[in-house]
Structure 1
């Protein structure tokens, strides 16, 4: 088979997957009505929400699960037959197709004990270990929760006023998307059908009509939803042959969400309370996986000083689609911490190994870390094209190299001893108030 014939087959098979997966909407199929929060809080968090298998059956799919499962199976066989069992790109495509078959099994099992099994197959478990390390995600989550709950947080706790309404947020984000992407390439619009404050899909950011935002919230949305989620989608759509890189099966979730959180950090858009919420999600998943029910997980966060609203939100995210008695839950929310840690370790390792040029491939499309070496080889061969939309610090790697180089070097420091040294100095300081104080005109400085 000639190279051109191979590429044409790869594109045809890839495009079939893009079309087959299009009607699958995992989050839509497991979302809860917004009014459930008020009912739950009115019952003082003591009564489980009235959600079971029958509730989820009310959601009507835009596809026939049985037919789609069979169609994916046929595509999987065609990939083997047409590309060969040993073809590396074909193997990535094959695994991605299998992921969508498991997604169908997940959606069939909503509200049952089997739901958690399929969720762990797709997203992993809070008891999983960090790649290349002995620590579990739960241990990492607890450590981060501790860091982002230290007394120092209160000294940084500047009140960011959420005074920007949905329409204003749409206008601001649309302007920023037009600046980062080609004008008109990305839409920002108001939605009445999302539970979260905002969400990205394809080339569109949806903003909840009922939500209000601070300027910092919009910075987070700009880089998290825009630069990463939409940016990698559009970069994937630029691919001439491997068109499946424009769609995200669950196998890429950790790298996507972790990169989005990393971009929040590198652009100084994040803040301790948000980082704490992300870390709390890992703990919530682990508690629920170990058998805590919805009320118990909710109470756990209340007792640790989290507001009723935020305690409900973090708990609801974990139990959607599963069983409220615990054990069978949606484990996607481990992806933020898992992906952040693994992306950082990947970048540091690429620098240490002398191949920093592979780092921009993280934005090539919807990828996993295991895919990147092969995709980089195909990039060098011209089969895959580099990312069009790339954050500035990934376009010119000098600053990123120095940042991660210092980070790697400082990891050799014994932080406990260093902290012991400086604590002797800090103990002499007088008690202080938070550094941000209100002026008479109501502003903060």
Structure 2
């Protein structure tokens, strides 16, 4: 077939996929009532939340699972018939359809032991090994928790208290993101219907009207929710043929969340307490997977000094959709750490393999890392458009190349020996020095 005919077929199938997935809203289907937190904290964290299978049955899905399943299967056959079983873009479409078939089963089994099985199939398990390494996600999570829980980490965050109100945060973020996006492409709005402090939609960011923020929080939201989540959605919407790149099934979650955390790091927007959240989520998922119930996971974090509301939030994220007695839980929160490691390794590998020009494709839409070589080939032939919104360090790759080139080069050094040498210099230093007071005094002088 001609290139024009091929592109039109991709467009038709992509639009059908977008239409079929439209009523699927995973987080809306497993959300807990706002009253659950108040009731749990009122019991001093001693009573399991009253969220069971019957509760989830009262949250009606916006689709008939069996009808939608059959329509996805029909589309799957149509993709293979129209594009062929060996076509690269057809393979990505087929894998995406398979993910939505699993999502239907996930939501159909809310509040049961099967929910956890489907969640692991979609998002993985905390006991999974990192690609190309023997360490599990839980092991890496524990190591990072140790690093980000050191006294010095808390000291660094101390001067940055929550003092920016939600309405002020909306105005600040709207102004900053207006400098990154074209006028009218993104909205920042107040919301009273989200559990987290903020959440990204297709062309908007919701800010929880009951939350307060630090300057660091706003920096994180700007790059994490704005540049990555909204940016890749808008880039996907600008695709002339591969319109499915504007929507994300769970198969792209690790790449998306990992890229967002990486951008926090590359722009120096993150901070130790934020990084600790990412690591804590891995530990919470593993405990719940291994059978700890809601109260046990909650108490694990409060006994480590976490505030009661924060401990509830991280625990609730893991248990939503599953069973509060443990074993069957929502493992999506593994995506942040897994995706961060995989994105870093992807970038390092692209540089060492001599193909850094492929890296901007991370922002072309909602993708997995394994999709990118195929998408890049079709970009060269004209079926895939390059990303419109790209952070500066991915637009001019020189600095990124040098940064990750050095990182790859020094990875051969024996860090244990290096650390042993410097530890002898650090051992007599106070564990928490009044760093900021000194800096402020010097600045005033």
Shorter-chain TM-score bucket reads over 0.9
The structural deviation recorded for 1:428 is 4.0
TM-score normalised by structure 2 residue count: 0.96
Whether the 8 Å CA contact 1:436–1:444 is kept in 2: the answer is no
Alignment of 1:88-103 (within 5 A): 88-103=88-103
The one-character-per-residue Cα deviations of 1:77-128 (angstroms, maximum 9, x if unpaired) are: 1111111111111011011011111111101111000000110111111111
Conserved 8 A contact 1:293-1:325? yes
Give how far 1:444 is off.
Answer: 11
After superposition, where does 1:223-302 map in structure 2 within 5 Å? 223-302=223-302
Q: RMSD of the TM alignment (CA)?
A: 1.8
Distance 2:163 2:297 in 1: 31
Q: Does 1:133 align with 2:117?
A: no
Secondary structure in 2 aligned to 1:205?
strand
**1:326, 1:283 → 2: CA distance?**
14
Match in the other structure for 2:154: 154
Rounded Cα–Cα distance in structure 1 between residues aligned with 2:428 and 2:300: 36
Checking the alignment, whether the CA contact within 8 Å between 1:158 and 1:436 is kept in structure 2 is no
Q: Which moved more, 1:219-228 or 1:235-244?
A: 235-244
* 1:209-224 alignment runs, 5 A limit: 209-224=209-224
Q: Structure 2: how far apart are the matches of 1:223 and 1:131?
A: 26
Distance 1:311 1:431, change over 3 A: closer
Task: Work out the CA distance in 2 between the residues paired with 1:234 and 1:154.
Answer: 37
**Change over 3 Å in CA distance of 1:20–1:284 after alignment to 2:** same
Counterpart-to-counterpart distance in 2, 1:73 and 1:335: 27
User: Following TM superposition, by how much is the alpha carbon of 1:427 offset from its aligned partner in structure 2, in angstroms?
Assistant: 2.8
Distance 2:241 2:98 in 1: 20
Matched, 1:310 2:310: yes
Equivalent in the alignment of 1:74: 74
Report the Cα offset of residue 193 of structure 1. Answer: 1.2
1:35 aligns with 2:35: yes
CA contact (8 A) 2:152 2:432 kept: no
Query: Is the CA contact 1:157–1:434 (under 8 Å) kept in the aligned structure 2?
Result: no
Alignment of 1:165-176 (within 5 A): 165-176=165-176
Q: How many residues end up aligned between the 2 structures?
A: 444
Deviation at 1:432, TM superposition (A): 5.2
Q: Deviations over 1:42-81 (max 9, x none)?
A: 2121110001001111112222222211111111111111
* CA distance, structure 2, for counterparts of residue 127 and residue 377 of structure 1: 34
Provide the secondary structure at the position in 1 that maps to 2:149.
coil
SS where residue 321 of structure 1 aligns? coil
Distance, in Å, in 1 between the alignment partners of 2:430 and 2:26 is 53
Distance in 1 (alpha carbons) for counterparts of 2:430 and 2:214: 33
C-alpha displacement of 1:275: 0.3
Structure 2 residues without counterparts, runs of 5 or longer:
none
Cα displacement string for residues 366-395 of structure 1 (whole angstroms, at most 9, x for unaligned residues): 110111111111111111111100000000
Alpha-carbon distance in structure 1 between the residues aligned to 2:431 and 2:33: 46
Distance 2:174 2:332 in 1: 28
Indicate the residue corresponding to 1:10 in structure 2: 10
More displaced 10-residue stretch of structure 1: 399-408 or 386-395: 399-408
- Tell me how far 1:350 sits from its aligned partner: 0.6
Aligned equivalents of 1:194 and 1:152: distance in 2?
Answer: 32
What SS does structure 1 have at the residue aligned with 2:275?
helix
Post-superposition offset of 1:151: 2.7
Asked if structure 2 preserves the Cα contact closer than 8 Å seen for 1:156 and 1:434, the reply is no
| Separation (CA, whole Å) in 2 of partners of 1:101 and 1:417 | 50
Counterpart-to-counterpart distance in 2, 1:431 and 1:17: 55
- In 2: Cα distance, 1:198 partner to 1:429 partner: 39
8 Å Cα contact 2:14/2:243 also seen in 1: yes
Note the C-alpha offset of 1:158: 2.7
Bigger mean CA deviation after superposition, 175-184 or 147-156? 147-156
Q: Secondary structure at the match of 1:180?
A: coil
Residues 1:198 and 2:198 are matched in the alignment: yes
